[in-house]
Amino acid sequence: MSSFVSKKALPRRTFLRGMGAALSLPLLDAMIPAATAATKTAALPVRRLGYVFMPMGCDQSRWTPRGTDGKLSELSPILASLAPHREHVTAFTNLELRNAYPGSHATSNSSFLSAAKAKHTESSDYYLGTTADQLAARQLGRETQLASLELSMDMLQTTGQCDNGYACVYQNNLSWSSPTTPLPSEAHPRIVFERLFGEGGSLIERRASLRQRASLLDWITEDISSLKRQLGPADRAKIAEYLDTVREVERRIQKAEADVTQSSLPPDLERPLGVPASYTEHAKLMFDLQVLAMQGDITRVTTFQLARETSNRTYAVETGVADPHHPLSHHGNDPDKIARMAKINAFHVSLFAYFLERLKATPEGNGTLLDHSLLLYGSGIGNPNVHDHTNLPILVAGGAAGGMKGDRHIRYDKPVPLANLHLTLLDKVGVNIDRFGDSSGKITDLFTPLSV
């Protein structure tokens, strides 16, 4: 039964509803009131913050941008795939996570978003700190269906101790809503899709409802038709493109499930059942789900873990490198091993470049989703061979509409806390706090003042 109610100006939080489903809408012209004093304020884009975690550091010689002019005019080999997005990207050299020492994979993972020192324990008395994404979610999540969205590529939730006497919880989770509350991430595209678009009942009930039909969109066709009759040509085109994207993402999820059902091969133990067999396709699907979540304003805060620290995943198909990632990262300064590790680093960055392209290709208001987002990409380890947490590989992307300069390489002569960057990004999305972790101040040259 249709539940769409006609209004002269659609509220930003408009949904199309059907049995077990609720489809949020992208920003439409019809959601902006006709020319009034409030028009300028109503048209301002929402603020979004996203984090993408790359495990086990990198080959810094192939990561660090070339040149000394402070620009990205000569991208390094690992960053080469970012060339089409240079004007939206800033790279940093010599950021550090001092609280991650004495140095481990567990503390790389746990300190990346918390800038806090993890309690050294193998038991359940773990203690860390509230992560930057959750500080943002407390404020930005007040107006969205989901306060935040935590995603990963691995469902391996190991218990006990995983690394140098640290509980596995530190490697399993990037996001912590309090020092004692880690937030588990989701790697299964179907479950993420249901979380974004399912409605009513328990998770099991929503899942059963969604699987009983060919498509989520089948149950809201009446609402779609009713809505389109009230929209202008530009908004109808936006709705059509958005629905095509939802339908295509759902089709890819269904295909992955069908492939698992039909396959007689044993599943990859690091890959949840019902996800694409290809790591690349799985990662792109998870990025596309984030784009949908942002486009529909379902959430404004996301985290995505490309792999856990100490992951032994191989990327032979994607890179031609058959070595498991973790052992390869302990390269012993062997040039051949370092070169192979760098190929994995470049592959991970290329996935981030895909995310930027998808955001840039999605119009919103007077810009794009990329213009209206701030994204931090990087790792909590610098040189993985020695488990150090200095000179971290860090990028910030997006934010042109928010004043981020882009096409820059900010290089520090002495180590500067990564917490300074967290504090700066939080401030930019409206989370005003004096300190975060071991911060010593904000980064003042990342943004230009916006004209009023």
* Number of alpha carbons in the 13 Å side-chain half-sphere of residue 15: 16
pLDDT at residue 134, as a whole number? 97
Is 63 a residue whose pLDDT tops 80?
yes
Q: What is the pLDDT of residues 180-229, one digit of tens each?
A: 999 999 999 988 998 898 765 555 655 555 555 456 676 677 777 788 88
Task: Please give the sequence-ordered ranges of beta strands (E in DSSP) within 58-187, or none if there are none.
Answer: 89-96, 149-152, 161-163, 166-167, 175-178, 181-183
Assigned token pair, 403: 């004043």
Task: Give the largest Cα separation in the chain, rounded.
Answer: 67
Q: What is the pLDDT of residue 146?
A: 94
Q: Can you tell me the mean pLDDT for 35-43?
A: 43
For the segment 125-149, the average pLDDT, to the nearest whole number, is: 95
Q: Which domains does the chain have, with CATH numbers?
A: 1-44+190-273 (no CATH), 48-187+275-452 (3.40.720.10)
- Residue 264, pLDDT > 70, answer no
- pLDDT for residue 3: 41
Q: Is 173:181 a contact under the CB 8 Å cutoff?
A: no
- Top-confidence residue, 230 or 410: 410
Q: What region does 434 belong to: left with phi over 0, alpha with psi -120 to 50, or beta?
A: alpha
The answer for residues whose C-beta is within 8 angstroms of residue 432's C-beta and 6 or more apart is 426
Q: What is the pLDDT of residues 167-192, one digit of tens each?
A: 989 999 999 999 999 999 999 998 89
Query: Hey, what are 305's tokens?
Result: 């873990």
Using a pLDDT cut of 70, give the percent of the chain over it. 82
Cα separation, 401 vs 450, in Å, equals: 9
Q: Average pLDDT, stretch 131-160?
A: 87
Cβ contacts of 190 within 8 Å, gap of 6 or more? 207, 253, 257, 274
pLDDT tens-digit series, residues 414-442? 999 999 999 999 999 999 999 999 999 99
Kindly list the distances between the CA atom of residue 375 and the CA atoms of 219, 304, 348, 357, 450, in Å, as whole numbers in the listed order.
Answer: 34, 11, 15, 13, 19
Mean pLDDT across the stretch 131-148? 94
Count of alpha carbons within 13 angstroms of residue 295, beta-carbon side: 24
Strand pairing partners for 408? 71, 90
Q: What DSSP element (H or E) covers 303?
A: strand 301-305
Cα 442 from Cα 430, distance rounded (Å):
14
